[in-house]
């Protein structure tokens, strides 16, 4: 597969073109269902800057040369397990590459939300954090500014409890728990993680079983230069 996009990237899907190819012979309805699932688990989890454009598309083209699954009519058919897994792996890889190639990006960031009241709430919290300019600039500066992360989660409109129930990790470092910085929190270890190119932020809300993972990047002066120096 191939994909294009580096700015104005936000789920649904935003200035992004992706083309996936297979030689499988499968009915249109089956391919459509499998592609929609793959997109929900990949392209619908990315954001570079939170801006959406009118130009976006994911296309799955099948040549039909391989008739191995020619009689399959159900997207949940067990015989499609390998194909489904491969399709999702390619979609996730392309989606993450778009984020890594984001305008001015220097860090790839995984925002992992657990313990939300449902998956929809987890998604909303994840994207509120992922698209917060204050969070993204802190990441650009290698600053483990946990207050900005919690503030973004709190204003998401998708949480019912307060920080007293939350647990925040930056990398493997437990930063915040039970309404206060964790007694064993070591800012140097958190800062060392933030200085890397692969950042993981995990927030458990303690409300339920909902979970969601979003992928984003930092917000640097490079992004500002790119978008200030040209007129679209």
Question: Domain 2-100, what architecture?
Answer: 2-Layer Sandwich (3.30)
Distance from C-alpha of 111 to C-alpha of 201, rounded to nearest angstrom: 5
Which has the higher per-residue pLDDT, 132 or 2? 132
Average pLDDT (38-67) is 86
Residue 77 carries which DSSP code?
A: -
Give domain limits for the chain.
2-100, 108-228
Distance from C-alpha of 114 to C-alpha of 121, rounded to nearest angstrom: 10
Average pLDDT (194-216) is 98
Q: Write out the H or E segment, with its range, that includes residue 83.
A: helix 81-100
State what percent of residues in the chain have pLDDT above 70.
92
Q: What is the pLDDT of residue 229?
A: 87
Looking at 3.10.20.340, 3.40.50.150, 3.55.30.10, 2.60.120.10, the CATH number of the domain 108-228 comes to 3.10.20.340
Catalytic option among 15, 22, 47, 202: 15
Distance from C-alpha of 126 to C-alpha of 201, rounded to nearest angstrom: 10
Given this chain, do its domains 2-100 and 108-228 carry the same CATH topology?
no
Instruction: Tell me, yes or no, if 15 is annotated catalytic.
Output: yes
Q: What is the pLDDT of residue 75?
A: 94
DSSP string, 137-163: HHHHTT---HHHHHHHHHTSS---S-G
């Amino acid at each position: 597969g191939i994909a294009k996009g580096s700015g104005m990237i936000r789920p649904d899907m935003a200035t992004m073109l992706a083309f996936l190819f297979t030689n499988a012979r499968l009915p249109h309805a089956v391919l459509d269902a499998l592609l929609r699932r793959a997109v929900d688990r990949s392209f619908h989890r990315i954001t570079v800057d939170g801006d959406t454009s009118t130009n976006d598309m994911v296309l799955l083209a099948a040549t039909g040369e391989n008739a191995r699954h020619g009689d399959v009519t159900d997207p949940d058919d067990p015989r499609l397990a390998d194909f489904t897994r491969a399709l999702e792996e390619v979609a996730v890889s392309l989606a993450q590459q778009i984020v890594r190639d984001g305008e001015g990006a220097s860090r790839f960031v995984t925002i992992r939300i657990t313990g939300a009241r449902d998956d929809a709430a987890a998604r909303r919290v994840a994207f509120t954090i992922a698209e917060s300019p204050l969070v993204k600039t802190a990441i650009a500066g290698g600053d483990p500014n946990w207050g900005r992360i919690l503030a973004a989660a709190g204003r998401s409109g998708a949480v019912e409890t307060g920080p007293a129930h939350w647990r925040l990790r930056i990398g493997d470092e437990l930063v915040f728990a039970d309404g206060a910085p964790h007694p064993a929190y070591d800012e140097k270890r958190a800062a060392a993680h933030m200085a890397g190119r692969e950042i993981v932020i995990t927030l458990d809300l303690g409300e339920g079983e909902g979970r969601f993972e979003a992928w984003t990047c930092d917000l640097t002066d490079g992004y500002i230069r790119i978008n200030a120096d040209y007129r679209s």
